[in-house]
Structure 1
Amino acid sequence: MKILKFIAYGLLSIIILGGSFAAHEWYAKPFFINNFFNREILKQALKSPEMLSQLHMLENIGIRGHNSKLDDDSIAAGDAMIADLKAAKAVLDDYAVEDLSEAEQLSKAIADYLFASVDDFERYRFHNYPVNQLFGAQNGYPSFMESTHEIKIAEDAENYISRLSAVGKKFDQVLEGLKERENRNILPPRFVVDRVLEEMNNFVGTAPKENILYTNLEKKSAEIEGYDNSQVLSDAEKAIQADVYPAYQKLIDYFTALRDKTTEDDGFWKLPEGEGAYKAALRLFTTTDLTADEIHNIGLSEVARIQAEILAILAGEGYDVSAGFSTAIDEMASKEEFYYPDTDEGREQIIADYQVILNEIDKGLGQAFSLRPDTGVEVKRIPAFKEKTAPGAYYQPPAIDGSRPGQFFANLYDIKATPKYSMRTLAYHEGIPGHHFQVAIAMQLEGMPLFRRFSPFTAYVEGWALYAEQVAWEMGFQKDPFDNIGRLQAELFRAVRLVVDTGIHAKRWTRQEAIDYMIANTGMAESDVVSEIERYIVMPGQATSYKIGMMKILELREKAKTALGDKFNLSDFHDVVLKNGAVPLDILEQLVDEYIQGNQA
């Protein structure tokens, strides 16, 4: 449901601020197809106060009431969304392609692709684990309150209290969905239960005044000029004790009782209709029809190729590679020179150095990019309360009104998971010219429906970020051979993902088999490997999108180079890839083919 919501909300600013369709078009088929897109998105956006807070546009016109509410996560709300999408698809089918402009035809093709996934979504909507060690209401709620709920005036602080009081209802809706999955015998693996119980027990075991929900309000409300925050802080303490902690306790009690019903089988193969659900997940995340076997074999081939390149560099640096990849890469990783001190000061230096890396490449991209984001990107540490089970890094887009920059969150829980030779590649992936360039550029594009600025095509989005790592190397930003090993390790990591994701969910690998394979073939820190494998278990198929997307972009670049010869221009190619927002890979190929034909002519 979250993916479908994110597709929907992007159009809100144009509709509310621009009034882009007539009142009667709220019910009838709009004459202009873009008005149809606007209307359907608005219908969904108005149902999500949390996304309205994330977009942060209504506040600019004095509307803040949505900031006192939380999303409806009930099964009924999911039913209503599916019904809305089916009705919208029927209207979209009424628009004849020949009556549309070229740009409108592209929008319709992308929308058709999205709507085609609704049937899979409906059939397999309960094939997931909505409360797990990575995401869910139990950690998403405090993260949302800390990073998204703005506190600039007294009303914002009061709305914060309202959202604390509303958490009980939200968690009851989450429990409703969990029990429906239990009735369908869709149960998480046992380790997921153990992880979330540990997380939630630690959360409620904190004194209310020490909880992030309180300290966040305390800090932000103190910055409101002339505001006495004593009453609101007292209210927050009471709400955390009376509303928040009891809501968490219900989830704790549920998972405690559920644990004995779970097993240590980890793949989707164990679930009713699990094979079909995994096929649907691969289609969704790769935007291809590649089978699990095909993806698995691509992964094995790429692992062998990349390991050979790394060994060649290590040999050139004087390492003994005769014992094989695992031994050689472990020897390199054991060198203390590659790590920061395991202290608060060391972690602060990591964040500062990440920012230096981003500032450097932002100034040095030269003629490779003509499209650039209007907003910058800042580096932040993943909040301590969730970093133990969080991924190594993630990116959060800027606010659409420019009030918040893009944010690259780095996980510093295990200092050994951040070797210096890996930092450039990670910064290029999450920041510049990776996710920040692609996402922020898409958000600022004009002249197209805003749903295309937020399209969740993971193979494109993650494929671009992985491609960006290679572009940075090609442009000379990783001249140190160990930085290049860091880049190749990152690509190897994504190739290994093809093997382990399909291994877990299609070939019945155990969690430990997948962990052992990834450790042996990447040289990653064990703590990172465990987090990653557990991520693939609760997010089937998603990990395959990175390498599949990167390989397609590189294939299309080579196709354009071969066809155009001296006429090929890297900046123009990047424009083609970036200027239409995220798209399925087959549509991206059509766009590149049109670029080739236009330049040949």
Structure 2
Amino acid sequence: MDDATGEAIALALVGIDKVWAEVRRTPWVERDLGLPVDRLPDIGEAAVAARSRRAAEALYALDRANEAFLPRELKLTHTVARLTAARMAAEADRYWLAFDPLGIGFFAMFAPTAYCGGFLLGHVGGMLAKFAFETEGDLHRYLGLLEDYARLIDQLRERTAGQARRGIRIPRPQLEQSRELVSRFRRGVTALVPSSDRLQGAGSDRAADLIRERLDRAVDPAFETLLSLLSEADYDARAPETVGIAQYPGGEALYRELVHEHTTLDVSPEQVHAQGLEQVAAVRAAMAELIREVPFEGSPSDYLAATGRDPAWRAQSSEEIEAFFNRYIERIAPLLDDVFRFKPNAPHAAAPLPEMLAGSMTFGYYDAPGPNQPAGRYLFNATNLAGGPLGNIASLNYHELVPGHHFHLASQRENEALHPVRANALFNAFNEGWAEYAATLAGELGMYQAPEERFGRLMMDAFLACRLVVDTGMNAMGWSLEEARTFMRENAFVPETEIRSESIRYSCDIPGQSLAYKIGEHFLTARREEMRARLGERFDLRDFHDAVLKPGALPLPLVAENIASATEQLVA
């Protein structure tokens, strides 16, 4: 090894280690590493500014390393670390307009929203639910964590109040949902009192009483103060009717940055909007063709309504809905070895979403396996799913579990060949793009057998294509909330409750995040077909999947480089 190579590697490793030190502090990673819960996240302005300073120092170290001298795998890790550090370094400047309390790149406009404070408090509640009581010291540590929980709620309020002082107020449609969300969490604090079985090792007969007293003294008042701010007459009167990040100072420029970060591509909101309109038109044409094949007399909406009247495609209880997911898990299992060499060891399953989040989330979310949770789980919103036909559950299952999120997230975290920065990397376009690619792949493998399942897949296509249109529409092109909802009513094929919650998600919660799904899927599919064309009869789908999955989550241009490299090796 020459001196230049050695120096480049040493500098890169210093910077990478600095980034890992920051990443491992984030609540999701701490949980997944099985670290003891001794503190809760600090989302205050001072803490975010400190993290940005540390990230800037890491960025400086990384930029001193000459990438030209780095081995390929180290170069990939260096790039992932650099992008992660750059994102964290930007947090302080963005804090009052959009912040990232979970440290995963989902910049949320307002704290008391489903995908920001809702995710955060739900995650914290899950951590506390697994807290082990073995000594009296554990009881005192838990009481301290409850104080910390109250501090976290206070920080949600402090940022909301600080935004208001800067003329950044929650739009009225989101404000109604925020009050309900906070009220749900307030009512749910009783779940923070562990069962008597869990408290047996705490060393105190009064353990439960002491915990209830701490909740009454610290946590409940914090929720009350936050709710009081959201309910103030002055705040309500000055809350804007309009939505979208562009209405706030610096919002238009920040949205363009977020579009780049969430897609990892150099595309503008206008280009994404145009792609969305094209994709919506293509899905509508495919729906019309399917209805002709069935055959069915009527529109796609009529067909969906007819499906909804069929008891075979309805379910009421969580158990019945879970049975739908299990049907599709079992259906694809015999085919996985034919198309994948690289797979996770962790099992997977579906389970109901916590009640506190049910009112603010459309479908649910994937919860990755960790030391205290061996299985990757899709937490589904039983309330919303019970309200309509379930022909789309197959598509949802293949997106969220296998071969979707579970395959790439669980295998990435199990992959001991990856540096921890890579094993815990999240790039939205890769993560959601792979999950949507997986749902389409399931169709290519014959998983959507009944017409209702094929239509359900097209429903998900339509829904996600609509996101490209309405997210950019409300955040960059001056669309009103009602314009977006009208477009979704005509094209998304989801119930009104979902249209209302989803349109708020795009415009008032995590703008730009929803663009990753279809942008990522179409990018991966295009790269696959390029590989197929280059290899001809030598093309093996497992080679493509290896090239995408083994390196873990990466920006899409780097994924394309890996696929091209794998292709040339196979040609040779």
Preserved contact between residue 515 and residue 530 of structure 1 (Cα < 8 Å): yes
**Percent of aligned pairs with the same amino acid:** 24
Gaps in structure 2 of 5+ consecutive residues: 1-6, 99-108
Q: How many residues align?
A: 551
Match of 1:181 in 2: 163
Preserved contact between residue 556 and residue 589 of structure 1 (Cα < 8 Å): yes
Q: How does 1:83-98 map to 2 (within 5 A)?
A: 83-98=53-68
Preserved contact between residue 393 and residue 430 of structure 1 (Cα < 8 Å): no
Tell me whether 1:31 sits opposite 2:10 in the alignment.
Answer: yes
Report the Cα distance in structure 1 between the residues aligned to 2:385 and 2:71, rounded to whole angstroms. 53
Match of 2:407 in 1: 437
Q: How does 1:365-376 map to 2 (within 5 A)?
A: 365-376=336-347
* Equivalent position to 2:126, from 146, 160, 164: 146
Match of 2:314 in 1: 340
Output the amino acid matched with 1:277.
L
Structure 1 residues 294-341: Cα deviation after superposition (integer angstroms, max 9, x where no partner): 1111111111111111111112112124xx54x434443442335434
Distance apart, 1:141 and its partner CA: 2.3
Match of 1:561 in 2: 532
Tell me whether 1:213 sits opposite 2:189 in the alignment.
Answer: yes
Preserved contact between residue 22 and residue 55 of structure 2 (Cα < 8 Å): no
Match of 1:278 in 2: 255
Match of 2:19 in 1: 40
* Equivalent position to 2:517, from 541, 546, 565: 546
Match of 1:574 in 2: 545
Structure 1 residues 342-373: Cα deviation after superposition (integer angstroms, max 9, x where no partner): 3xxx3211113313422442343132000111
Preserved contact between residue 269 and residue 476 of structure 2 (Cα < 8 Å): yes
Go from structure 1 to structure 2 and tell me whether the alpha carbon gap of 1:434 and 1:492 turns closer, same or farther (over 3 Å shift): same
Distance apart, 1:505 and its partner CA: 1.0
Match of 1:108 in 2: 78
More deviation, 297-306/164-173: 164-173
Preserved contact between residue 16 and residue 78 of structure 2 (Cα < 8 Å): no
Match of 1:497 in 2: 467
Preserved contact between residue 151 and residue 157 of structure 1 (Cα < 8 Å): no
Helix, strand or coil at the partner of 2:391: helix
Tell me whether 1:426 sits opposite 2:396 in the alignment.
Answer: yes
Go from structure 1 to structure 2 and tell me whether the alpha carbon gap of 1:225 and 1:164 turns closer, same or farther (over 3 Å shift): closer
Match of 1:130 in 2: 110
Report the Cα distance in structure 2 between the residues aligned to 1:203 and 1:117, rounded to whole angstroms. 30
Report the Cα distance in structure 2 between the residues aligned to 1:230 and 1:308, rounded to whole angstroms. 67
RMSD: 2.5
Match of 1:190 in 2: 172
Report the Cα distance in structure 2 between the residues aligned to 1:160 and 1:29, rounded to whole angstroms. 45
Report the Cα distance in structure 2 between the residues aligned to 1:237 and 1:56, rounded to whole angstroms. 30
TM-score with structure 2 setting the length: 0.90
Report the Cα distance in structure 1 between the residues aligned to 2:569 and 2:457, rounded to whole angstroms. 34
Preserved contact between residue 382 and residue 411 of structure 1 (Cα < 8 Å): yes
Structure 1 residues 133-179: Cα deviation after superposition (integer angstroms, max 9, x where no partner): 31344663255223564233335555333221222322333333223
Tell me whether 1:75 sits opposite 2:57 in the alignment.
Answer: no
Match of 1:521 in 2: 491
Report the Cα distance in structure 2 between the residues aligned to 1:548 and 1:371, rounded to whole angstroms. 24
Match of 2:292 in 1: 315
Match of 2:417 in 1: 447
Report the Cα distance in structure 1 between the residues aligned to 2:128 and 2:269, rounded to whole angstroms. 37
Q: How does 1:475-486 map to 2 (within 5 A)?
A: 475-486=445-456
Q: How does 1:199-348 map to 2 (within 5 A)?
A: 199-204=181-186, 206=187, 212-215=188-191, 217-219=193-195, 222-223=197-198, 230-257=205-232, 258-321=235-298, 324-325=299-300, 327-342=301-316, 346-348=317-319
Report the Cα distance in structure 2 between the residues aligned to 1:328 and 1:414, rounded to whole angstroms. 20
Match of 1:25 in 2: none
Helix, strand or coil at the partner of 1:135: helix
Runs of 4+ with deviation above 6 angstroms: 224-229
